[in-house]
Amino acid sequence: MSLLTLTPSKQFTPKYVDLARDLMREIAAGPLKVGDRLGTEQEISRRFSLSRVTVRQALELMEKEGYVTRRRARGTFVARVVEPARQFGLSGGRVLLVCSNEQRCHSDEDSAFCTVLRAIEQSLAQRHFAVQILSVGQNPRDDRQRLASLLARDELKAVLSIGPCLEPYADLLTDVKVVTSCSFYPTAFPWVGDDVALASYQSVRHLLDHGHRQIAMLCGSWIDGAAFASFADGFLRAMEEGAASPDRALMMHAYPGESLEELAIATLSRREAPTAVFCENSRVCQAVIKAASQLGLLIPGDLSVVGYGQNVCEIHEPVAITAYVPETAKVGEHAVALLSDLIVGKVQKSDPIVVPGRLVERSSVATLGR
């Protein structure tokens, strides 16, 4: 396995290989030169929020290929620097791909983040752009310094972010082309993504069409205010169009440290309990399923469930869950197409581009009154 083989594949690579590639990109981007210290296992582990085992595996791979040397109690040092053009085998220039540490280090292979990442890497490679990944969020001061250093490189053509992680650095990005790919409208940059307000709207309309009026919306503690507001907008619009009175007490998200299952139990145990629930993602769906089981509720006989996200389609017990599935790969492809158009001057600015998803009907929604 070579670090120079950066062509994306359908199989998601191990985290230590991803880390090795990230470190190689940093070395290629400068300002490190042969003999400079890269850091200790502990320092790299802390910076990337990865285990020391993962860091050790990455450094062993890099050492095996001759790019670094490791010295006991002193750290890891650059042994060889590869020119960016040779490293990537591409000639269109470099695109900086920015994401959060949380996304980069803790996403499953089949998550929306990994799907859009693969699509972006493949689309950039097809357009002959090299990719450098920057994870931010662990240390804002260090992140700002690293971003400023990377932006100063002549071969950098543009910046593409997965998720709304660029806003704190907007002042650094005034002279570079930027596109954001995420699931709700950010404020500062051209945007491509799945509109979660449309997702909640279509999901709730589906429940209303099956006779439900007392509908809950549950989200996890990880959701931020803008995303929750977008989900809520679609939820409320559907309820109002369906002549149903929305109970805002049923529009909930867990707080940090709060159990999703306990939140679901409390919601389903209300005096006027919901007959249906819209869940933000598969983890919320699983919590609702467990809560319903503890309360003796059958799905869909006593409780109908609709979830958001591709992973919801992996849930088959006790029944297959109906899901609104975003076209995540297409979001990545459209984001790269827009970025490419901005780079070559084909467009000067862009309105938000929404890539609609689709409702996949399965077995978790019952029609009331039958």
Tell me, yes or no, whether 61 and 173 share the same domain: no
Tell me, yes or no, whether 234 and 282 share the same domain: yes
- Residue by residue, DSSP assigns 87-122 as HH---S-EEEEEEEHHHHHH--TTSHHHHHHHHHHH
Tell me, yes or no, whether 335 and 187 share the same domain: yes
Q: Within a domain: residue 360? A: no
Tell me, yes or no, whether 155 and 83 share the same domain: no
Tell me, yes or no, whether 320 and 286 share the same domain: yes
Cα separation, 184 vs 228, whole angstroms? 10
Tell me, yes or no, whether 57 and 159 share the same domain: no
- Residue by residue, DSSP assigns 195-223 as -HHHHHHHHHHHHHHTT--SEEEEE-TT-
Tell me, yes or no, whether 344 and 279 share the same domain: no
Range of the domain at 80: 1-89
Q: Within a domain: residue 36? A: yes
- Of 321, 298, 326, 305, nearest to 204 (Cα)? 305
Tell me, yes or no, whether 321 and 334 share the same domain: no
Q: Which of 89, 123, 155 is the last residue of a domain?
A: 89
For residue 347, count other CB atoms closer than 10 A to its CB.
12
Q: What angle do CA 162, 167, 170 make, to 5 degrees?
A: 115
Q: Which of 89, 122, 147 is the last residue of a domain?
A: 89
Q: Within a domain: residue 259? A: yes
Say how far residue 86 (Cα) sits from the centre of its chain. 30
Tell me, yes or no, whether 274 and 178 share the same domain: no
Tell me, yes or no, whether 27 and 106 share the same domain: no
Q: For residues 48-70, b (16+ Cβ closer than 10 Å) or e, as one string?
A: bebeeebbebbbebbeebebbbb
Tell me, yes or no, whether 203 and 290 share the same domain: yes
Q: Which amino acid, residue 357?
A: G
The total number of structural domains in the chain stands at: 3
Question: Which residues are bridge partners to 156 per DSSP?
Answer: 94
* CATH code (residue 39): 1.10.10.10
Joined together, the tokens standing for residue 35 give: 């003999």
* CATH code (residue 275): 3.40.50.2300
Q: Within a domain: residue 358? A: no
Tell me, yes or no, whether 200 and 173 share the same domain: no
pLDDT tens digits, the chain, 370 residues: what are they? 455 444 444 445 677 887 887 787 777 666 677 888 888 888 888 877 788 888 888 898 888 878 888 887 778 888 876 554 444 333 467 888 888 876 666 555 556 777 888 888 888 888 888 788 888 877 888 889 888 888 887 668 899 988 878 888 889 998 889 998 876 666 678 889 888 899 999 999 999 999 999 999 999 887 777 788 889 999 999 999 998 988 888 999 988 888 999 999 999 999 999 999 999 989 999 999 999 999 999 999 999 999 998 889 888 989 999 999 999 889 999 999 999 888 888 888 888 898 999 999 999 999 987 6
